[in-house]
Amino acid sequence: MTAEQAAQVVPLLKALADPVRIRLLSLVLSHEGGEACVCDLQPSFDLTQPTISHHLKVLHEAGLLHREKRGVWVYYRARPEALEAMTQLFAAAPSATPATPVTPAAPTAAGAGA
Amino acid sequence: MTAEQAAQVVPLLKALADPVRIRLLSLVLSHEGGEACVCDLQPSFDLTQPTISHHLKVLHEAGLLHREKRGVWVYYRARPEALEAMTQLFAAAPSATPATPVTPAAPTAAGAGA
DNA sequence: TGTCACTATCGACGCATGTCGATGTCCTGC
DNA sequence: GCAGGACATCGACATGCGTCGATAGTGACA
């Protein structure tokens, strides 16, 4: 993985690397119709409304949540593309060593002449 | 997802939510034999040795890397269990709304009598 | 028009984190 | 025993982040 590839995935991981935000995303996903407004989400947390709004903004800016205003309420919905990107990231990773014999390799940087 | 479940996954995500660490894990996975020592990894970054060591420690404490000392070198190897936990997390999530019609739901918390 | 409810933004505070230089620990080879 | 290399730890610094209270913006309703 190059530095550029890492720079693409890290914002998504950063957005999810918070207990409040990953629960927010889970709540939105499991909510009726796959969408929820702030007033649906806030009661699940012991946090103030601005804090919830802040976390939703982070998820939105990371591309994980879609935002839509309907009258007084703002509805958030998960964006499957972002979730799929995460799925593919981890689906590709562990295939490297499923049951390989793990041949001990000599270090290359410092040279094998130790 | 409960707060407890989130608390279990978040440390893994936090450990990966860094461009250096996700590249370190990728390098270890793709390295010969699925393992690498610090001297193999450091040349890929413009960072000092203590910083690389710090990031490897974070990955190790999160359960993502296994650590083994052989002589002067310390070899790091990915732990498939942790990667599988990540895979399952994201594999279960996006199945909520693949092509659902998204029926507009009224907010429940503030009551519909607004 | 005035009021109320829902949500976002702002400014501030404290804590966590990434990075570095200096140093310590452990092993190898002479 | 001594020198040198590989890696970890420590202390310090700057930056980022989560949280709050206060406040602004916007739509609904009487």
Domains and CATH numbers, chain B: 9-93 (1.10.10.10)
Q: Please report the pLDDT score of residue B93 as a whole number.
A: 67
Question: Inter-axis angle of helices A19-30 and A49-61, to 10 degrees?
Answer: 80
Return the residue of A nearest to B83 by Cα. Answer: A94
Q: Please report the pLDDT score of residue A89 as a whole number.
A: 86
Which one of A38, A42, A97, A100 makes the best mutation probe of the B interface by having the most chain B beta carbons within 10 Å? A97
3-state DSSP assignment of residue B68: strand
Q: Please report the pLDDT score of residue B68 as a whole number.
A: 96
Mean pLDDT over A64-89 rounds to 94
B3 → closest Cβ in A13, A19, A93: A19
pLDDT tens, residue order, chain B (114 aa): 888 888 889 999 999 999 999 999 999 999 999 999 999 999 999 999 999 999 999 999 999 999 999 999 999 999 999 999 888 888 776 544 443 333 333 333 333 322
Which residues in chain B touch residue A19, judged by CB atoms under 8 angstroms apart?
3, 6-7, 10
Phi then psi dihedrals of residue B70, to 5 deg:
-135, 100
Mean pLDDT over A37-55 rounds to 97
Q: Please report the pLDDT score of residue B64 as a whole number.
A: 97
Share of residues in chain A with pLDDT > 90 (%): 65
Q: How far is CA A92 from CA A89, B41, B103, B109, in A?
A: 6, 21, 34, 40
**Smallest CA–C1' distance to D16, residue:** A14
- Rounded to 5 degrees, what angle do the CA atoms A102, B85, B92 make? 135
Beta bridge pairs of residue B17: none
Residue-averaged pLDDT of chain A? 83
More confident residue, A45 or A4: A45
More confident residue, A3 or A69: A69
- Ramachandran area for residue A67 (φ above 0: left; ψ -120 to 50: alpha; else beta): beta
Which one of B4, B8, B9, B10 makes the best mutation probe of the A interface by having the most chain A beta carbons within 10 Å? B10
Contacts of A106 (CB under 8 A, 6+ apart): A112
* pLDDT interval class at A1 (50, 70, 90): confident
Q: Please report the pLDDT score of residue B5 as a whole number.
A: 83
Contacts of B65 (CB under 8 A, 6+ apart): B25, B28, B56, B59, B76, B77, B78, B79
Q: Please report the pLDDT score of residue B4 as a whole number.
A: 82
**Smallest CA–C1' distance to C4, residue:** B114
Q: Please report the pLDDT score of residue A75 as a whole number.
A: 97
